[in-house]
Structure 1
Amino acid sequence: MHLNKVALECRHISLSYGATPVLRDVNLKIEPGEFFALLGPSGSGKSTLLRLIAGFNRHQAGELLVDSQDISTVPPHARNIGMVFQNYALWPHMTVWDNVAFGLVERRESRDAIRRKVGEALELVGLSQYAQRRPAQLSGGQQQRVALARTVVIEPKLLLLDEPLSNLDKQLRVQMREELKNLQRKLGLTTIFVTHDQEEAMTTADRMAVLDGGVLQQVGSAAGLYDYPQNRFVAGFVGTANVLEGRVTSVGGETLSFQVEGLGTLTLPRPADAPAPGPGAIAFRPHQVSIGVRDEQGDASRVWLDGSVESAEFLGEFSRYRVRVGEVALVADQPHYAGIAMFEPGARVRLGIEPGQLRYLDA
């Protein structure tokens, strides 16, 4: 089973429920064969966008293109788009085989074609020997595989997954994440999945779009969004970030001076699109901060800040410190090694940040 790779494009899509805007001027292009994630908090519009692609709701403005054809007015059953719902929506009274065959029977395919395609789909998800069981006799992970087999057996143009792993426990989620990625690679099927879990998106998707308040905040690879967030929301939602509010006081050839409220002036490398003097923010990640005792002489190339530890948490792989610097509280993560004592609350420490890891945010 190898399926067509199609492109999907949203052009200026807007949708409101009554007077409430849910999607605002969404522009997005998903490449053929791409595994693409829609990431955002509850109420961000990500599930609405997924359902809109499936045809379960309609946008009031814009175009929805599959391989350059606008499908906005095509009813859901005629779009040939497969969707796996969060609760799997399996028929409890039917066997696994009959669940998977359901879409093909509806399409009145021949008995031989159904036998061949269902057999292939069950083999693909490793459930051939469970064909005569009912969903209640399967584990959560197996039920999800049945839902996937039922969806891919109709050879859809697109595969849509709505929070596909949220009903599974953590260990199974990690395993299914891997399986999902392998299945998608094997099929070469353009896949869009919705999640609020940044780790899920970062480990599986080729690229992702971050939504908030119905607005597309940023699109890119996991590393691109993590390393170069475009605004405060993306910096805080993709990973953990320290965000310092302040203002740009001067912009030189190579550097930019940034005055942080309650902390002082920091110097960081000038971004490609240099901002004009005025309000903004800078962000950096907790693991990019080194922490040492106050009197140690530090590397001159770093930005050094003196502070005191407010709280310390041991998290196994690393220790997380909350450090008060002036009027600002910063988070610093340090890798844990056996035999290294943690800093106690109240300890006077120095934080070191590489200037190249500081990111200027203008929105």
Structure 2
Amino acid sequence: MNPQVSLECRDINLSYGTTPVLRGVSLKVEPGEFFALLGPSGSGKSTLLRLIAGFNRHQSGALLIGGQDVSAVPPHARNVGMVFQNYALWPHMNVWDNVAFGLVERRESRDAIRRKVGAALELVGLQQYAQRRPGQLSGGQQQRVALARTIVIEPKLLLLDEPLSNLDKQLRVQMRDELKSLQRKLGLTTLFVTHDQEEAMTTADRMAVLDKGVLQQVGAAADLYDRPVNRFVAGFVGTANMVEGEVMRAGAGQIAFRAPGLGDIALPLQDGDAPLPGPAALAFRPHQVVLAEAGAASDASRIWMQGEVESAEFLGEFSRYRVRVGGLALLADQPHYAGLAMYPPGAQVRVGMAPAQLRVLAR
């Protein structure tokens, strides 16, 4: 197996004609890291992955693998393995021949092919399916064949382009666990592209959010979830309530925020520099909102407001409420327990929020 290598993009810019697709993308993936690239359709994430594989070419910037600039290196010479969304298996070849294909192209010896293909199939648990064709396999088994075919060539990098999107939910959960386990076992530096936030958060060591070709934020899943840098990240990584308002002043450990419908709110000063006075948004997660019956005793550590339940959904582990507070409609997720009655639409409730959980986003 090749030694672990880093991957670095330095101010990558790519346009199709006059349309910019990647704009000043700079990020570094550490050796052996499982890194997820997350973004909506059209954000440029698959374009960036294909650029790293060598199928696209940037107009400016540098792409380094293991510290070496490979911008001008053709795809076949980069020793990068890529698993596509549709797996791209040869339908007329059996599993063994599909996995051996890259080694045959490289003209490796028959003994080396037999040894490496056998090891790859054992790694993904498909030894007994070696003589079957792709059409005789389940979606999860085809996914394993695609992985085996990629890792058998011992690539420096493993690139995964939405590899689980064609599977049903239960199989996706199983396959992402297997994928993570396999990556840890191999120690391969891996870049995983997905539009599914849950996949990114549960598999990756770190992740980056891309929107309209611009890198929005890079960090561990918990950092992006708890400390989003802007409205887009707050709304894309998880579900968020977003209340537009204004920072009145900030200093002495506090932020004074004014929001129509909520009034003036005093918040503790958050990480980093104090926000400048001016338009901003208050972001907070539905599970951070507490509901209580009107007139119930209040936890003094929270900000409380009167509200009315507009709708209620039972989602198993929790119930999601849409609550009208002044001119605002807020989402509130409450844990469900057996025998716990839901608030019906029209119910008058008190809405509580902990100041430390409210995040001010100036952009």
3-state SS, counterpart of residue 94 of structure 1: coil
C-alpha separation in 2, matches of 1:52 and 1:291: 48
Q: Unaligned stretches of 5+ in structure 2?
A: none
Match of 2:247 in 1: 248
1:259 aligns with 2:269: no
1:341 aligns with 2:341: yes
1:115-143 deviation line (CA, Å, top 9, x unaligned): 10001000000001111111111111001
3-state SS, counterpart of residue 86 of structure 1: coil
Match of 2:57 in 1: 58
Letter in 1 for 2:103: L
C-alpha displacement at 1:362, in angstroms? 1.2
Match of 1:109 in 2: 108
Once the two structures are overlaid, the 10-residue window that deviates more, 339-348 or 231-240, is 339-348
Letter in 2 for 1:287: H
C-alpha separation in 1, matches of 2:116 and 2:249: 65
C-alpha separation in 1, matches of 2:284 and 2:262: 15
Q: Give yes or no for contact 1:3–1:187 (8 Å, CA) kept in 2.
A: no
C-alpha separation in 1, matches of 2:18 and 2:156: 33
Q: Unaligned stretches of 5+ in structure 1?
A: none
Letter in 2 for 1:240: T
1:291-341 deviation line (CA, Å, top 9, x unaligned): 011211211111112111111111111110001111111000000011111
C-alpha displacement at 1:263, in angstroms? 2.5
TM-score, normalised with respect to structure 2: 0.99
Q: Give yes or no for contact 2:139–2:167 (8 Å, CA) kept in 1.
A: yes
C-alpha separation in 2, matches of 1:251 and 1:139: 57
1:41-92 deviation line (CA, Å, top 9, x unaligned): 0000000000000010111110000111110010111111000000000011
Match of 1:156 in 2: 155
C-alpha separation in 1, matches of 2:101 and 2:203: 29
Runs of 4 or more above 2 Å deviation = none
Match of 2:355 in 1: 355
C-alpha displacement at 1:262, in angstroms? 3.0
Letter in 2 for 1:112: D
3-state SS, counterpart of residue 41 of structure 1: coil
Paired residues for 1:136-285 under 5 Å: 136-271=135-270, 272-285=272-285
1:140-199 deviation line (CA, Å, top 9, x unaligned): 100110000000000000000000100001110000000000000000000001100000
Letter in 1 for 2:132: R
C-alpha separation in 2, matches of 1:340 and 1:34: 43
Match of 1:311 in 2: 311
Once the two structures are overlaid, the 10-residue window that deviates more, 60-69 or 258-267, is 258-267
TM-score, normalised with respect to structure 1: 0.99
Match of 1:28 in 2: 27
C-alpha separation in 1, matches of 2:114 and 2:298: 70
Letter in 2 for 1:164: P
Q: Give yes or no for contact 1:3–1:188 (8 Å, CA) kept in 2.
A: no
Letter in 2 for 1:9: E
Q: Give yes or no for contact 1:280–1:361 (8 Å, CA) kept in 2.
A: yes
3-state SS, counterpart of residue 202 of structure 2: helix
Q: Give yes or no for contact 1:84–1:160 (8 Å, CA) kept in 2.
A: yes
3-state SS, counterpart of residue 40 of structure 2: coil
C-alpha separation in 1, matches of 2:206 and 2:2: 20
Letter in 2 for 1:171: Q
Q: Give yes or no for contact 2:256–2:267 (8 Å, CA) kept in 1.
A: yes
C-alpha separation in 2, matches of 1:39 and 1:194: 6
Letter in 1 for 2:205: D
3-state SS, counterpart of residue 301 of structure 1: coil
C-alpha separation in 2, matches of 1:14 and 1:281: 30
3-state SS, counterpart of residue 13 of structure 1: strand
Match of 1:119 in 2: 118
Instruction: Give the number of equivalent residue pairs.
Output: 362
Q: Give yes or no for contact 2:251–2:274 (8 Å, CA) kept in 1.
A: no
Match of 2:75 in 1: 76
